[in-house]
Amino acid sequence: MSIAEKEKEVIEEFELFNDWMDKYEHIIEQSRQLPLIDELQKTDEYLVRGCQSKVWLNATFKDGCVYFTADSDAVITKGIIALLVRVLSGEKPEVIIESQLSFIDRIGLKEHLTPNRANGLASMVKLMKTFALGFKLKQQA
C-alpha cells in the first residue's frame, strides 16, 4: 500500500467522526497498534527533541524500506506517532523524504493541537525524514 493509499485510509477513518472528542478517542485507539520501541532504546539517544511529552523513535532498514518503532509517555502523543508510523513505515527512504503527509491537515489534526504538541508533531516528522535520509545516503555510499 502506498503512502497516498495509507493517508486516504486514515482520512476516511477520521471522516466517520463528527466530534473531536471521538477523533481523540480514535487517536488513542491508534496508540494500541503502535509497533513499540525496545525498552532498552528508551534512552536520550532515541528521544524526539521538541516534544512536550517524551517520545522515543527508532528506525531500521530492511529490504530497501524503513521501519519505525516508537513509544511515548502520553497517550495522545503515542497515538499521533502511531499514525505517522502507520503511514510511513515500510516505505523506501526517498518516498518518506518526499512525502507531504497531507492527511495531517486533511483530518484537522494540527489545528486541534496545542502549539507545543504541534511543534512536537513537526519534530516527529522531521526525525522520521532524517532517519530516511540517513538510510538513503548509506545506500548511495
Q: Would you name the residues annotated as active-site residues?
A: 51
Cα separation, 73 vs 20, in Å, equals 22
Question: Which three cell numbers, joined as nine digits, stand for 56?
Answer: 522515543
Q: List helix spans (H) across 1-141.
A: 3-15, 20-31, 75-88, 93-98, 103-106, 115-140
Cα separation, 9 vs 15, in Å, equals 10
